[in-house]
């Protein structure tokens, strides 16, 4: 009898958490590491939210509460999510979760039987793909097209839809590409969904970066297209908009109250409830007019850093980087670097079992980390299926400008260091 279930052996992970111990090892050895791997804003929690959480703790608001989420927060979410998208929602359609991540797996478990197909963006947030194998559904990656600003057309989606398609994940603004969808594009995608999918299809619209937008871009939701509200779940939360990843507050607005109640019951089974003092803080974050200012301040800094980093990357031989319109990541194509530095040849020479654990972009990521102390994420960390010959890195710009300047210089030096890379390969260490 095996100790661990088959199901558990099928779950993958989020590599952003895997790089952390490598960084600690380098720091303990006395290095300054430039952290372009982080998926969280590097700003403090806005003071008005912090004050509310403190006041709630002083009121001893630390006991069990409504497993669906406290009513004042659900009312605030229903109004805020609805108004921003021209839709109406009742607080009964809202469920609060411990962050934006838990509902991803819970939705797959709730809507999909084994064998059902789940379409998700690749590159995309790794948890979409990770959970699909765990729940026994069939993963169907939708490869985003670089030439379309890392998005996809209705025709791209149409090719993947079958009578088994049950759930479609969408994520704009996107992690890891920063891509943002236009209203026309969403209308075209919605048209395909309405024509081709079973009426019981569900669209999981992950809009957690809804407020992190540049160049006057807007967040459009597929739920706002006629006939889509009743098929779409809108998932957002407090982690990114209010720089509060440790607060663990996220929420989903469901197409129906009945569906919301199913998730309330899952919350009862898994979490009992979400810390009420943080939920009150999230309510203030949503309702306070001060939040607009703190978000704008953050976006101004991200936009300046984005401009600097994209320009620096495009000046490096072999690197091509688009200008993202939202989120706080840039996603350079490093195919030229892989070729120029003969990383593809080094990869091809590795034993097959090692090839499975790494990739050309992983080898460059690791060389950059261990030899030049710049932490980034590789392409493989954002969906593995069908991504074998895709050479990209994700760099987070949630790091101060001074560090980004050092990071870009180090990366330019690494790209020029073909001999150093050859030595890195000879050492047979840190390949993944």
Contact residues for ligand PLP, defined by CB under 6 A: 39, 99-101, 125, 171, 175, 206, 208, 237, 239, 245, 250
In terms of CB distance, is 19 or 343 closer to ligand PLP? 19
List all residues 6 or more positions away from 302 whose beta carbon is below 8 Å from its beta carbon. Answer: 212, 214, 328, 397, 398
3-state helix, strand, coil in the chain (%, to 5): 50, 15, 40
Is the CB of residue 347 less than 8 Å from the CB of residue 358? yes
**Whole-angstrom distance, CA of residue 132 vs CA of residue 112:** 9
CB of 245 to ligand PLP, least distance (A): 5
Q: How many CB atoms lie within 10 A of CB 256?
A: 11
Q: How far is the CB of 250 from ligand PLP (least distance, A)?
A: 5
393 token code pair:
């890195």
User: Smallest distance from the beta carbon of 359 to ligand PLP, in angstroms?
Assistant: 21
Q: Residue 264 and residue 272: Cα distance in Å, rounded?
A: 9
Q: CB of 106: closest distance to ligand PLP in angstroms?
A: 12
Identity of the residue, 35 or 346, whose beta carbon is nearer to ligand PLP in the bound complex = 35
Q: Minimum distance between the CB of residue 319 and ligand PLP, rounded to whole angstroms?
A: 23
Indicate the residue among 239 and 294 with the shorter CB distance to ligand PLP: 239
What minimum distance in Å lies between the beta carbon of 121 and ligand PLP?
9
Taking the complex as a whole, the smallest distance from the CB of residue 60 to ligand PLP amounts, in Å, to 26
- DSSP secondary structure code for residue 33 in this structure: P
Work out whether the CA dihedral 334, 335, 338, 340 comes out positive or negative: negative
Reading phi first (left if > 0) and then psi (alpha if -120 to 50, else beta), residue 378 is in: beta
**157 or 235, CB closer to ligand PLP?**
235
What span, in angstroms and rounded, lies between the C-alpha atoms of 139 and 129? 7
Measured in degrees and rounded to the nearest 5, phi and psi for residue 395 equal -115, 130
Quick one: 82 or 250, whose CB is closer to ligand PLP? 250
Cβ distance to ligand PLP smaller for residue 140 or 238: 238
Q: Which is nearer to ligand PLP, 16 or 192 (CB)?
A: 16
Q: Which is nearer to ligand PLP, 99 or 276 (CB)?
A: 99
Radius of gyration of the chain, Cα coordinates, nearest whole angstrom: 22
- Tokens at 284, concatenated: 């203030």
CB neighbours (10 Å) of residue 406?
16
Name the minimum Å distance from CB 350 to ligand PLP.
30
In angstroms, what is the minimal distance from the CB of 118 to ligand PLP? 15
Look-up of token digits 């091809």: 348
Comparing CB distances to ligand PLP, the nearer of 39 and 178 is: 39
The pair phi, psi for residue 233, each rounded to 5°, is: -100, 130
- Residue number with the shortest CB distance to ligand PLP? 99
Indicate the helix (H) or strand (E) that contains 375.
Answer: strand 374-375
Single out the residue of 227, 99, 108 nearest to residue 168, CA to CA.
Answer: 108
């Amino acid at each position: 009898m095996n100790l661990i279930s088959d199901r558990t052996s099928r779950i993958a992970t989020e590599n952003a958490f895997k790089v952390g111990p490598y960084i600690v090892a380098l720091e303990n050895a006395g290095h300054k590491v430039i952290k372009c791997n982080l998926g969280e804003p590097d700003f403090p929690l806005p003071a008005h939210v912090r004050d509310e959480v403190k006041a709630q703790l002083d009121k001893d608001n630390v006991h069990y509460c409504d497993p669906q989420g406290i009513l004042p927060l659900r009312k605030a979410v229903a109004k805020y999510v609805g108004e921003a998208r021209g839709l109406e929602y009742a607080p009964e359609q809202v469920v609060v979760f411990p962050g934006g991540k838990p509902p991803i797996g819970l939705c797959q478990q709730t809507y999909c039987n084994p064998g059902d197909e789940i379409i998700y963006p690749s590159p995309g947030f790794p948890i979409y793909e990770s959970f699909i194998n765990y729940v026994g559904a069939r993963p169907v990656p939708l490869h985003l097209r670089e030439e379309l600003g890392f998005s996809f057309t209705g025709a791209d989606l149409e090719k993947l839809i079958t009578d088994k398609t049950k759930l479609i994940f969408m994520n704009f603004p996107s992690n890891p590409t920063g891509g943002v969808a236009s209203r026309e594009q969403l209308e075209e995608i919605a048209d395909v969904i309405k024509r081709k999918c079973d009426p019981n299809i569900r669209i999981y619209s992950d809009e957690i970066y809804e407020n992190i937008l540049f160049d006057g871009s807007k967040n459009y939701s597929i739920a706002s297209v006629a006939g889509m509200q009743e098929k779409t779940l809108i998932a957002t939360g407090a982690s990114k908009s209010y720089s509060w990843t440790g607060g663990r507050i996220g929420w989903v607005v469901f197409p129906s109250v009945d569906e919301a109640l199913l998730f309330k019951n899952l919350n009862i089974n898994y979490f009992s409830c979400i810390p009420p003092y943080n939920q009150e803080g999230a309510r203030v974050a949503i309702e306070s007019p001060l939040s607009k200012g703190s978000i704008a301040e953050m976006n101004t800094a991200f936009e300046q850093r984005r401009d600097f980093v994209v320009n620096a990357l495009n000046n490096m031989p072999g690197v091509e980087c688009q200008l993202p319109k939202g989120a706080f990541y840039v996603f350079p194509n490093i195919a030229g670097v892989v070729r120029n530095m003969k990383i593809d040849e080094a990869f091809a020479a590795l034993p097959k079992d090692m090839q499975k654990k790494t990739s050309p972009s992983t080898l460059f990521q690791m060389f950059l980390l261990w030899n030049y102390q710049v932490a980034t994420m590789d392409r493989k960390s954002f969906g593995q299926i069908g991504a074998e010959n895709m050479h990209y890195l994700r760099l987070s710009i949630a790091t101060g400008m001074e560090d980004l300047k050092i990071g870009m210089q180090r990366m330019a030096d690494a790209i020029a260091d073909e001999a150093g890379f050859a030595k890195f390969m000879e050492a047979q260490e840190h390949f993944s």
